[in-house]
Amino acid sequence: MAALDNNRLRGELKFNEPMSRHTSWRIGGPAERFFTPADQDDLALYLSGLPADENIVWLGLGSNLLVRDGGIKGSVVSLKGALAEIQALENNRLDVGAGCSCAKLARYCSRNNLLGGEFFAGIPGLLGGALAMNAGAFGGETWQQVESVTTLNRQGIIQQRLPHEFEIGYRSVKGPADEFFVSAVLQFSAGDGEKAAAEIRQLLDKRAASQPTGLPSCGSVFRNPQGDYAARLIEASGLKGHAIGGAVVSEKHANFIINTGDAKAADVEALIDHIQQTVKQQQGVALQTEVKIVGEVAND
């Protein structure tokens, strides 16, 4: 870490920061280093000062992340409250920072008579995470709107890239190694903002009726297999309400795992494994996780 000059950083750098404060499951061990940049230049300075083999975990709202109880060695870079600007461009395009919440983006679009961004209201994270996994909701997907992206590599070098430089799939994005999204230019269409706002309210009401919103979870744990739904397969396997420790499969939506209050990451991971094994055995389908699992197993 000798090359990292903490005195030049303008953002906030914490040490041994409990990740339970930063994940929607409210669990997770400490991060060795936890950095929130002041802006893109500050982020470039931090990255360029790290060792080449430093483990880096990117954090948005922590809504799609399971951090193991042993915590994270290396750096967590948090974009919550950073790189959140939205700049209007010509021809119904927006330049949006990776730290902008998807909910904020959806509201901005509706208030400015832009259509095509309504589905972002259903993504409980930041744009950076949505770009990294091609997040979607209500039938829409992030990369359907992408015209170009700006990335930053470990040397602090900025790159402008186009969608054809990435392999885009269902909840999957593969691109140049060790480059991280810092912003994107998104394309929308002109339309009735009030109509868009009404649709957003309708979509959110529908989500609240079918999902256990307001409880500590990560959202959908598993990807939907082609032509089917993970929740249907889990429910058909008799797993609704099944618990390991403080982690339980939601009775309201089987693709959600709830922290009942005292769950450890090990409980959640064990429950994920049990669901996969049971669904494979009973339904013949190998469920793939949508949630990202990071960190070290605790030494009990």
Where residue 2 falls among pLDDT bands split at 50, 70, 90? very low
Q: Which of 20, 78, 220, 237 is catalytic?
A: 220
222: nearest Cα among 168, 294, 275, 263: 275
Q: Judge if 160 and 270 occupy the same domain.
A: no
Q: Judge if 117 and 58 occupy the same domain.
A: no
Specify the CATH number for the domain of residue 240.
Answer: 3.90.78.10
Q: Per-residue pLDDT tens for 146-159?
A: 999 999 999 999 99
Q: Judge if 19 and 104 occupy the same domain.
A: no
Q: Which domain holds residue 51?
A: 6-78
Highest-scoring range by mean pLDDT, 124-128, 213-217, 264-268: 264-268
Number of domains into which the chain is organized: 3
Does residue 217 lie in a domain region?
Answer: no
Q: Per-residue pLDDT tens for 23-37?
A: 999 999 999 999 999
| Angle, vertex CA 292, rays to CA 158 and CA 222, nearest 5 | 130
Are the C-beta atoms of residues 181 and 128 closer than 8 Å to each other? yes
Specify the CATH number for the domain of residue 71.
Answer: 3.30.43.10
Q: Which of 171, 207, 223, 232 is catalytic?
A: 171
Q: Which of 54, 78, 102 is the last residue of a domain?
A: 78
Q: Judge if 65 and 97 occupy the same domain.
A: no
Q: Per-residue pLDDT tens for 228-262?
A: 999 999 999 999 999 999 999 999 999 999 999 99
Q: Which of 179, 199, 269, 290 is catalytic?
A: 290
Indicate if the pLDDT at residue 44 is higher than 80. yes
Q: Judge if 22 and 92 occupy the same domain.
A: no
Q: Which of 50, 78, 106 is the last residue of a domain?
A: 78
- Does residue 220 carry a catalytic annotation? yes
Does residue 299 lie in a domain region?
Answer: no
The pTM of the full predicted model, rounded to 2 decimals, is: 0.90
Output the six-digit token pair for 295.
């960190």
Write down the pLDDT at residue 210. 81
